[in-house]
C-alpha cells in the first residue's frame, strides 16, 4: 500500500495497483477455500463499515458460502442505518467464533478498533487466515492479507473489487449496502475523494433500482424532533476561535439524557458544525462511557488524521477521531494546543 494519498483523488502508482491486485487475488483464494466466513467491522460502525461488511455477507450467502457478520459492543446500529438489508442476519459479538476458519475485517485500521473481537483477529492472523479490507492510509496492516487501498474512497470500493475477483455477481441487497458505504464516505459525492471511479461505481450500483431518494433521506436528512432540540443546544454553545480558525461544540451525558438521544444518533452533528465559514478545523466532543469521543474535520490545510493519531486515534486527512480520558474542557484544551503548535 501507499501512504501518499490518504483520501484518494489521484490515480495510484502502478506498484500500488500491483500490490492491491495481488492482495485481492490472495484474499479471494482464502475466501474461496473457506467453509465459512466470519466478518467483522469497526466499533461504532458507520455507513462504510456496515455497508461494506453487509455487502460481502449478502454476496457470500447468495453464492452458497456460509457467513456471519458482527462488530464489537455496544452492539447497536444508529437509527439512520437501520434500513440496511441484512441487519436481521447479524451475530452478537459474544457469539463470534473464537477460531474462525477465515476472518475478514472491514474499514478497520487497527486491531484496537475491533474491541473484544481484536484477540480473535490476532489469532486468525497467526494462522494466516485474516483478510483486512480497508482504505485508511494509517492502516496497520494487521492481517495475513491486507487489501488496503488509500486511493479508494470507501472500503465499499475494495469490496466491489473483491467480489469481481471472487466471481460473485452483485445483487440488489449488496448494491444498497455498497452504495451506503460510498455515499457516506464521500459525503454525498462532495469530498476530495469523489473521483471518476466513485461515480462509475455509483452508476453500476444504481442499475439495481436502488431507492436513492429514500436512502438519502434515511442517511442524511431524517431525525427525531428530539435530536433537533439537542442540536439547537449544541449549536448555541459552539465556540469559534477566529485566530485558530477552529470551531467546536460538545454533547454531555446530561444532554443525551435530557433529550433522550443516543450517541449513535449524533453522528451527523459534526457535519453541521463544519459549515462555519470562519473555521478550517471543526470538532465535536461527546461524553461516553469509554471517555470523550472526539470527531475532527478539516477543510483543506490541516491533517486532522495526524492530530487524531497523536491522541491515540486515527482516520483520514480531512476526517478523523479519537477517544480520550479527561473532561470535555481538558480534551478541548489539548486539541487547541495541538492546533496552536501547527497541528
**CA–CA gap between residue 162 and residue 179 (Å, rounded):** 16
Nearest to ligand AMP of 61, 111 (CB atom): 111
Return the residues of window 38-57 that contact ligand AMP according to CB under 6 A.
46
Cell of residue 50, nine digits: 456496515
Other C-beta atoms lying within 10 Å of the C-beta of residue 214: 11
What is the closest distance, in whole angstroms, from the C-beta atom of residue 136 to ligand AMP in the complex?
6
Nearest to ligand AMP of 26, 140 (CB atom): 140
Member of 105, 180, 282, 295 binding ligand AMP (CB under 6 A): 295
* Contact call for residues 300 and 293 (beta carbons, < 8 A): no
Helix, strand, or coil (residue 213)? helix
* Contact call for residues 69 and 168 (beta carbons, < 8 A): no
Site string for ligand AMP, 57-86 (x = CB under 6 A): ------------------------------
Nearest to Mn ion of 151, 154 (CB atom): 154
All residues at 6 or more sequence positions from 203 whose CB lies less than 8 Å from its CB, including other chains: none
**Helix count and strand count (H, E) for the chain:** 12, 11
Strand runs labelled E in 63-218: 67-70, 102-106, 130-134, 145-148
- Size of interface with ligand AMP, in residues (CB under 6 A): 14
Helix, strand, or coil (residue 128)? coil
Q: Which does 322 bind (CB under 5 to 8 A by kind): Mn ion, ligand AMP, none?
A: ligand AMP
130 binds ligand AMP (CB under 6 A): no
Cell of residue 285, nine digits: 466532543
315 binds ligand AMP (CB under 6 A): yes
Member of 160, 248, 322, 324 binding ligand AMP (CB under 6 A): 322
DSSP per residue, 41-56: E-SS--HHHHHHHHHH
What is the closest distance, in whole angstroms, from the C-beta atom of residue 262 to ligand AMP in the complex?
14
319 binds ligand AMP (CB under 6 A): yes
Q: Which does 49 bind (CB under 5 to 8 A by kind): ligand AMP, Mn ion, none?
A: Mn ion
Return the residues of window 96-125 that contact ligand AMP according to CB under 6 A.
113
320 binds ligand AMP (CB under 6 A): yes
Member of 144, 180, 194, 323 binding ligand AMP (CB under 6 A): 323
**CA–CA gap between residue 17 and residue 11 (Å, rounded):** 9
269 binds ligand AMP (CB under 6 A): no
What is the closest distance, in whole angstroms, from the C-beta atom of residue 140 to ligand AMP in the complex?
11
What is the closest distance, in whole angstroms, from the C-beta atom of residue 260 to ligand AMP in the complex?
22
Member of 106, 202, 321, 339 binding ligand AMP (CB under 6 A): 321
DSSP per residue, 277-332: TT-SEEEEEEEETTEEEEEEEESSS--HHHHHHHTT-EE-SSEEEEEESS-HHHHH
Query: How crowded is the C-beta side of 143, counted as CA atoms within 13 Å?
Result: 26
12 binds ligand AMP (CB under 6 A): no
Q: Which positions touch ligand AMP (CB under 6 A)?
A: 46, 113, 136, 270, 295, 313-316, 319-323
Amino acid at each position: 500500500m501507499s501512504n501518499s494519498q490518504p483520501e484518494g483523488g489521484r490515480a495510484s502508482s502502478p506498484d500500488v495497483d500491483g500490490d492491491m491486485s495481488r492482495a485481492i487475488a490472495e484474499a479471494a483464494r482464502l475466501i474461496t477455500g473457506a467453509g465459512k466466513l466470519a466478518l467483522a467491522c469497526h466499533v461504532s460502525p458507520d455507513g462504510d463499515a456496515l455497508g461494506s461488511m453487509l455487502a460481502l455477507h449478502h454476496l457470500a450467502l447468495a453464492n452458497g458460502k456460509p457467513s456471519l457478520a458482527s462488530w464489537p459492543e455496544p452492539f447497536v446500529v444508529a437509527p439512520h442505518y437501520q434500513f440496511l438489508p441484512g441487519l436481521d442476519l447479524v451475530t452478537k459479538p459474544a457469539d463470534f467464533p473464537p477460531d474462525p476458519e477465515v476472518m475478514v475485517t472491514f474499514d478497520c485500521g487497527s486491531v484496537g478498533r475491533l474491541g473484544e473481537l481484536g484477540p480473535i483477529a490476532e489469532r486468525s492472523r497467526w494462522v494466516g487466515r485474516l483478510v483486512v479490507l480497508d482504505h485508511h492510509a494509517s492502516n496497520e496492516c494487521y492481517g495475513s492479507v491486507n487489501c488496503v487501498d488509500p486511493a479508494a474512497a470507501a472500503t465499499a470500493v475494495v469490496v466491489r473489487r473483491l467480489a469481481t475477483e471472487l466471481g460473485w455477481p452483485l445483487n440488489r441487497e449488496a448494491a444498497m449496502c455498497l452504495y451506503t458505504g460510498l455515499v457516506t464516505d464521500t459525503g454525498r459525492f462532495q469530498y476530495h475523494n469523489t473521483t471518476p471511479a466513485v461515480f462509475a461505481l455509483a452508476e453500476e450500483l444504481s442499475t439495481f433500482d436502488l431507492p436513492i431518494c429514500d436512502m438519502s433521506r434515511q442517511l442524511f436528512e431524517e431525525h427525531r424532533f428530539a435530536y433537533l432540540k439537542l442540536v439547537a443546544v449544541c449549536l448555541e454553545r459552539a465556540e469559534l476561535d477566529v485566530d485558530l480558525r477552529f470551531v467546536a461544540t460538545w454533547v454531555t451525558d446530561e444532554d443525551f439524557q435530557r433529550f433522550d438521544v443516543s450517541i449513535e444518533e449524533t453522528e451527523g452533528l459534526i457535519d453541521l458544525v463544519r459549515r462555519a465559514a470562519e473555521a478550517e478545523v471543526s470538532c465535536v466532543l461527546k461524553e461516553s462511557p469509554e471517555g470523550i469521543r472526539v470527531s475532527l474535520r478539516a477543510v483543506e490545510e490541516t491533517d486532522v488524521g495526524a492530530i487524531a493519531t497523536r491522541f491515540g486515534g486515527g482516520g483520514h486527512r480531512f476526517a478523523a477521531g479519537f477517544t480520550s480520558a479527561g473532561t470535555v474542557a481538558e480534551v478541548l484544551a489539548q486539541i487547541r494546543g495541538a492546533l496552536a503548535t501547527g497541528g
